[in-house]
Chain A
Amino acid sequence: MADILQVTDLETQFKTREGVIHAVNGVNFSLKEGETLGIVGESGCGKSVSMMSLLRLIPNPPGKVLAGKALFENQDLLSISDNEVRKVRGSKISVVFQDPMTSFNPVLTIGDQVSEPFRVHSDASKTDALDRAVKYIDLVGIPNPRERLNDYPHQFSGGMRQRAMIAMGLICEPKILIADEPTTALDVTIQAQIVELVKRLQNELGMSIIWITHDLGIIAGLADRVNVMYGGYIVETAPVKDLYKNPQHPYTIGLLGSLPRMDSSEYRRLTSIDGLPPILLEKPNYCCFEPRCRFAVDKCRNMNPGLLQVEGEGHFAACWVNPKTGKEYA
Chain B
Amino acid sequence: MMSENNILLKVDNLVKLFPIKKGSLFSRNAGYVHAVDGVSFNIYQGETLGLVGESGCGKSTTGRTILQLYPPTSGSVWFNGEDLAVLQGKKLRQKRRQLQMIFQDPYASLNPRMTVAQIIGEPMEIHKTFQGEAKLKRVRELLELVGLNPTFINRYPHEFSGGQRQRIGIARALALEPKLIVCDEPISALDVSIQAQVVNLLEDLQQKMGLTYLFIAHDLSMVRHISNRIAVMYLGKIVELADRNELYADPRHPYAQALLSAIPFPDPFIEETRKRIILEGDVPSPVNPPSGCRFRTRCRYAKEICSVEDPELKEIKPGHSVACHF
> A residues bordering B, Cβ < 8 Å?
42-43, 157, 159-160, 187-193, 195-196, 214-218, 220-221, 240-241, 244-245, 254-263, 265, 267, 269-274, 276-277
Among B192, B197, B199, B249, contact of A255 (Cβ-Cβ < 8 Å): B192
Q: Within the complex, what minimum Cβ distance (angstroms) separates A100 from chain B?
A: 13
Let me know if B263 and A217 touch, CB within 8 A: yes
A271 / chain B contacts, CB cutoff of 8 Å: 196
Q: Within the complex, what minimum Cβ distance (angstroms) separates A91 from chain B?
A: 31
Q: Which 7 A-B pairs have the closest CB atoms?
A: A221-B271, A258-B196, A260-B225, A217-B264, A272-B196, A192-B262, A187-B54
B261 / chain A contacts, CB cutoff of 8 Å: 192
Let me know if A188 and B262 touch, CB within 8 A: yes
Let me know if B262 and A220 touch, CB within 8 A: no
Let me know if B268 and A241 touch, CB within 8 A: yes
Q: How large is the interface on B (under 10, 10 to 19, 20 to 34, 35 or more residues)?
A: 35 or more
Let me know if B263 and A270 touch, CB within 8 A: no
B270 contacts the other chain (Cβ, under 8 Å)? Answer: yes
In the assembled complex, 19 residue pairs joining A and B whose CB atoms fall closer than 8 Å, in A order, are A42-B192, A43-B191, A188-B262, A189-B258, A189-B278, A192-B261, A192-B262, A192-B279, A216-B192, A218-B264, A241-B268, A245-B269, A255-B193, A261-B221, A262-B221, A265-B245, A265-B249, A270-B196, A272-B194
B138 contacts the other chain (Cβ, under 8 Å)? Answer: no
Q: Within the complex, what minimum Cβ distance (angstroms) separates B228 from chain A?
A: 10
B197, B249, B264, B274: residue with the most chain A Cβ atoms closer than 10 Å: B264
Once the chains are docked, how many angstroms separate the CA of A94 from the CA of B43?
Answer: 50
Q: Within the complex, what minimum Cβ distance (angstroms) separates A195 from chain B?
A: 8
Q: Other CB < 8 Å A-B pairs besides A260-B222, A261-B266, A276-B194, 10 of them?
A: A160-B282, A188-B262, A192-B264, A217-B265, A220-B268, A221-B272, A255-B193, A263-B267, A265-B249, A272-B196
Let me know if B54 and A270 touch, CB within 8 A: no
B177 contacts the other chain (Cβ, under 8 Å)? Answer: no
> B residues bordering A, Cβ < 8 Å?
54-55, 161, 163-164, 191-197, 199-200, 203, 218, 220-222, 224-225, 245, 248-249, 258-259, 261-272, 274, 276, 278-279, 282-283
Let me know if A214 and B197 touch, CB within 8 A: no
A259 / chain B contacts, CB cutoff of 8 Å: 192, 196, 221, 266
Once the chains are docked, how many angstroms separate the CA of A196 from the CA of B280?
Answer: 12
B263 / chain A contacts, CB cutoff of 8 Å: 188, 217, 262
Once the chains are docked, how many angstroms separate the CA of A211 from the CA of B164?
Answer: 29
B55 / chain A contacts, CB cutoff of 8 Å: 187
Let me know if B282 and A190 touch, CB within 8 A: yes
A215 / chain B contacts, CB cutoff of 8 Å: 192, 264
Closest B residue by C-beta to A183: B264
Let me know if A192 and B197 touch, CB within 8 A: no
Let me know if A244 and B268 touch, CB within 8 A: yes
B282 / chain A contacts, CB cutoff of 8 Å: 157, 159-160, 190
Q: Within the complex, what minimum Cβ distance (angstroms) separates B195 from chain A?
A: 7
